[in-house]
Amino acid sequence: MSASTPVHSLTPLGVMARKGGTPLVCLTAYTTPIARLADRDCDIVLVGDSVGMVLHGLPTTLGVTLDMMILHGKAVMRGLERALCVVDLPFGSYEESPAQAFRNASRLLAETGAAAVKLEGGVHMKETIAFLVARGIPVMGHVGLTPQAVNMLGGYKVQGRDSDAARVLDDARAVQEAGGFAVVLEKLPRSLGDSITRALTIPTIGIGAGPECDGQILVIDDMLGLFAAFKPKFVRRYANLADQAGEAIGAYAQDVRSRAFPGAEHSFGDRS
């Protein structure tokens, strides 16, 4: 490790030790400036494949590539000093085989400097998770609503209701048994999020899975009101930055057209 390589204060083992303690604070980030803002208060910063929808205008996460995740992972790591950085493995980069998953996960970690990867799926990904963990790659799981499988799930619907609860619980247990250090629970009934959290010995990170989870995560653009066209029920908006940005851009445009900007204070003289 070079002298310039940051030593992040939270590790995957440190995350596991937080089970049942003070809830873990997690947000997504895709750029260096946002990572710097999140680093102060967040325990985990996720470079999510949601970047495809939030920053690149894709209709789903399915078009996100490994190169895109590496690009944004590098940017986020430049902005972090203490938070644990986890990067999503995108659709098609790990499902084929454990060997494919290792090849792409190892490249992702080597090129970004991130600490861990996240992948979607439970029982059917158990062998892959175990394969990665045995080879030194920390894995965060993701069960419930798994956006990469949105076409199979019939849309972004709540998962785990009624008889489907056992399937989601089995998926979460599979992540733990394979050696995952934490698992994201997305869009589940609150009672199921609570049951899974109590059943597991690894932390659960909820997104629309109730307050009993060991931590919570949101897409940062959702909670800041920047991704204004999309507001799931589980999102609380802590700001409406899209409205503020729109007003600022409108004021700038008006000043440019009226020649009120740039003023004398923004201009250079011949000798200064």
Return d(Cα 202, Cα 214) in angstroms, integer. Answer: 9
50 in a known ligand binding site: yes
- Length of the chain measured in residues: 272
Return d(Cα 98, Cα 122) in angstroms, integer. Answer: 14
- Per DSSP, 97 falls in state -
* Active-site pick, 177, 186, 212, 265: 186
Q: What residue type is assigned to position 20 of the chain?
A: G
19 in a known ligand binding site: no
164 in a known ligand binding site: no
Return d(Cα 142, Cα 117) in angstroms, integer. Answer: 11
Return d(Cα 120, Cα 40) in angstroms, integer. Answer: 28
Pairing mode, if any, of strands 24-28 and 139-144?
unpaired
214 in a known ligand binding site: no
Q: What residue type is assigned to position 97 of the chain?
A: S
186 is catalytic: yes
Binding-site residue set:
49-50, 88, 118, 120
Q: Mind telling me the catalytic residues? A: 186
Binding site per annotation, positions for 3-methyl-2-oxobutanoate: 49-50, 88, 118
Query: Binding site for Mg(2+): which residues?
Result: 49, 88, 120
